[in-house]
């Protein structure tokens, strides 16, 4: 582990163009090299938005207003677009949410794994194909050569997610953003995929930003986590500390509302109204404070 974190986000603010509705509110985040950081929140809390901001794939309607995103010390926001793109492409990778739509239906699997190695990193093709074969073996897909020749529709959802994981690790990125990588899969496959991601992450020593709404998943995969509400980080903590004693009331309520990560049959409690009101008031106060500063 180096002194400075591999990914460092400071004061990142994003908003809708035109109306100016804030989507991310002064987000601070640090992920040391080789460690896994969870991003937790309800849908719409902006957890995916952070990953998209790093990768440079924010929707056209969203703009980054202020803040810095540092990868290995370099602020991405200050780079010219083409350079930012290739740098992000070389250093990071995405494991997408839905394996059924994340592979191009008209291209064979092989080139979809190797294209980044050849085009962005400049490997020669034979070496890239060897690498793809090796990765497919690592993600426990039998008969890699057949798979490299296949089209996506010839493979199952679980197989495709394994391929996407292999593709993400192929270029030895320093940071992987996993955007709810198991939500689209059925429960039995979910567990296998989760285990696979953790194994791969440990073997390759890759830092990871793990976006999920499932605290149970966080407890299994992550070393640290941040809880988001309305684009604002309400709490960041080490995983052991968080599950022992969450600091924020919203975190506590969220933990209570989750299917018990230790006991899947435990009872479910909705987040109480007063907690919601409190956290909303906090966000509103934050917005006012900002407005007063500006």
Binding region for another protein (CB under 8 A): 17-18, 55-57, 60-61, 63, 82, 85-90, 92-94, 96-98, 101-107, 115-116, 119-120, 151, 153-154, 164
Cβ distance to another protein smaller for residue 89 or 216: 89
In angstroms, what is the minimal distance from the CB of 117 to another protein? 10
Closer CB to another protein, 204 or 220, in the complex: 204
If the CB atoms of residues 91 and 227 are measured against another protein, the closer one turns out to be 91
CA–CA separation, 72 vs 259, rounded Å? 36
CB 162 within 8 A of CB 148: no
Count the helix, strand and coil residues of the chain and give each as a percent rounded to the nearest 5.
Answer: 45, 20, 35
Least spacing, CB of residue 195 vs another protein, in Å: 23
The CA distance from 113 to 163, in Å, is 8
- Tell me whether residue 178 or residue 239 sits nearer to another protein (CB atom): 178
* Cβ distance to another protein smaller for residue 22 or 246: 22
Nearest-CA neighbor of 212 among 241, 177, 186?
A: 177
89 burial (CB, 10 Å; 0-12 / 13-18 / 19+) is: middle
Considering the complex, what minimum distance in angstroms separates the CB of residue 101 from another protein? 4
* Per-residue DSSP letter, 41: -
Please tell me the distance from the alpha carbon of residue 169 to that of residue 177, in angstroms, as a whole number. 11
Nearest CA-CA partner of 173 in 220, 121, 138: 121
Complex with another protein: residue 83 or 240, whichever CB lies closer: 83
Q: How far is the CB of 263 from another protein (least distance, A)?
A: 34
The backbone torsions φ and ψ at residue 64, rounded to the nearest 5 degrees and listed phi first, read -85, 120
Smallest distance, another protein to C-beta of residue 154, A: 7
Contact 195, 112 (CB under 8 A): no
Query: Closest CB to another protein among 121 and 283?
Result: 121
Tokens read off for 25:
């509110």
Q: How far is the CB of 46 from another protein (least distance, A)?
A: 17
Q: How far is the CB of 150 from another protein (least distance, A)?
A: 9
| Token pair recorded at residue 229 | 């509400």
Nearest to 144 by CA among 126, 158, 154, 130: 130
């Amino acid at each position: 582990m180096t002194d400075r974190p591999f990914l460092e986000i400071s004061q990142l603010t994003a908003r809708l163009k035109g109306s100016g509705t804030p989507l991310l509110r002064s987000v601070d985040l640090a992920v040391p090299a080789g460690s896994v950081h969870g991003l937790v929140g309800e849908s719409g809390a902006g957890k995916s938005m952070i990953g998209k901001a790093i990768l440079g794939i924010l929707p056209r309607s969203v703009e980054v207003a202020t803040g810095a995103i540092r990868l290995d010390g370099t602020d991405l926001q200050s780079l010219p677009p083409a350079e930012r793109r290739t740098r992000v492409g070389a250093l990071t990778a995405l494991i997408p949410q839905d394996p059924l739509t994340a592979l191009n239906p008209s291209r064979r699997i092989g080139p979809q794994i190797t294209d980044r190695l050849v085009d962005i990193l400049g490997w020669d093709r034979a070496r890239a194909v060897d690498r793809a074969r090796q990765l497919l073996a690592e993600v426990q897909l039998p008969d890699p050569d057949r798979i490299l020749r296949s089209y996506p529709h010839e493979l199952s959802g679980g197989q495709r997610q394994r391929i996407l994981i292999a593709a993400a690790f192929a270029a030895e990125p320093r940071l992987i953003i996993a955007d709810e990588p198991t939500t689209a899969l059925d429960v039995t496959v979910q567990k296998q995929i989760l285990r696979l991601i953790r194994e791969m992450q440990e073997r390759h020593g890759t830092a990871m930003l793990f976006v999920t709404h499932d605290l149970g998943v966080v407890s299994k995969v992550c070393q640290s986590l941040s809880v988001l509400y309305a684009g604002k980080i309400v709490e960041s903590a080490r995983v052991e500390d968080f599950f022992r004693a969450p600091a924020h009331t919203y975190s506590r309520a969220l933990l209570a509302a989750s299917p018990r990560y230790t006991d899947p049959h435990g009872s479910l409690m909705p987040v109480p109204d007063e907690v919601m009101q409190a956290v909303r008031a906090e966000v509103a106060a934050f917005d006012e404070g900002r407005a007063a500063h500006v």
